């Protein structure tokens, strides 16, 4: 009975997610259409609002400037992690018959086109787009791996769940785990990328 309620909630969430995706797409299309119509006017406005890189640096709080090397130093381990996760997926997912995660669905690099950002802000946006997209990509790879090997919910509440977690079996539900594990693994083959 509990699973029926959870399945109903998951189904409603999926409908709402699809509706949200549709609304976001419509908003994006309206925005794109508006930009196309007023391109020159918008670009002029953006250029007017852009703060020069030197002024940006001279007005930035000193602690922000001093912490920048620490922030950027995380990029190197992130690149290595990206490489390892990508290689892992290339090797292991075909063995387990798990559909691969498309990096380009998670790592979106587009903010550099915004004319109201100076070169430093664009570089910072590049970093954030890459790093946060990478975390989403890795979370999806890890979520599919977890669904294949150990799709069991935790006994305590999880603060942040990946998209596959809601399909997992209740903690201590050995019967469903044994009976439906193959079903969850099969679901990974059909996973929409």
- The whole-number average pLDDT for the span 83-102 is 96
Q: Is 108 or 38 the better-scoring residue by pLDDT?
A: 108
d(CA 125, CA 112): 7
- Quick one: pLDDT band at residue 13, thresholds 50, 70, 90? confident
Task: Report yes or no: 54 and 106 within 8 Å, Cβ to Cβ.
Answer: no
pLDDT band at residue 1 under the 50/70/90 scheme: low
pLDDT at 71 exceeding the cut of 70: yes
Domain coordinates in residue numbering, the chain: 62-189
pLDDT band at 31 (very low <50, low <70, confident <90, very high): confident
The DSSP code for 103 is G
**Predicted model pTM:** 0.73
What is the model's pLDDT at position 193? 45
Q: How far apart are CA 85 and CA 83, in angstroms?
A: 6
Q: Minimal CA–CA distance to 10: which of 171, 178, 163?
A: 163
Structure-derived torsion over alpha carbons of residues 130, 132, 134, 136, reported in degrees to the nearest 10: -150
Over residues 166-193, mean pLDDT: 84
């Amino acid at each position: 009975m509990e699973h029926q309620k959870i399945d109903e909630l998951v189904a409603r969430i999926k409908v709402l997610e699809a509706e949200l995706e549709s609304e976001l797409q419509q908003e994006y299309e309206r925005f794109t259409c508006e930009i196309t119509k007023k391109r020159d006017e918008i670009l002029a406005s953006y250029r007017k609002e852009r703060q020069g890189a030197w002024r940006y640096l001279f007005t930035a709080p000193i602690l922000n400037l001093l912490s920048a090397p620490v922030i950027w130093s995380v990029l190197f381990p992130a690149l290595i992690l990206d490489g390892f996760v990508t290689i892992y997926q290339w090797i292991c997912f075909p063995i387990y018959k798990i559909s691969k995660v498309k990096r380009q669905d998670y790592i979106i690099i587009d903010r550099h086109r915004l004319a109201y950002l100076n070169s430093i802000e664009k570089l910072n946006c590049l970093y954030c787009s890459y790093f946060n997209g990478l975390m989403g990509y890795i979370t999806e790879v890890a979520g599919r791996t977890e669904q294949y090997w150990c799709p069991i919910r935790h006994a305590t509440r999880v603060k942040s769940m990946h998209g596959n977690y809601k399909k997992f079996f209740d903690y201590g539900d050995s019967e469903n785990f044994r009976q439906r594990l193959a079903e969850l693994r099969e679901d990974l083959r059909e996973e929409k990328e």
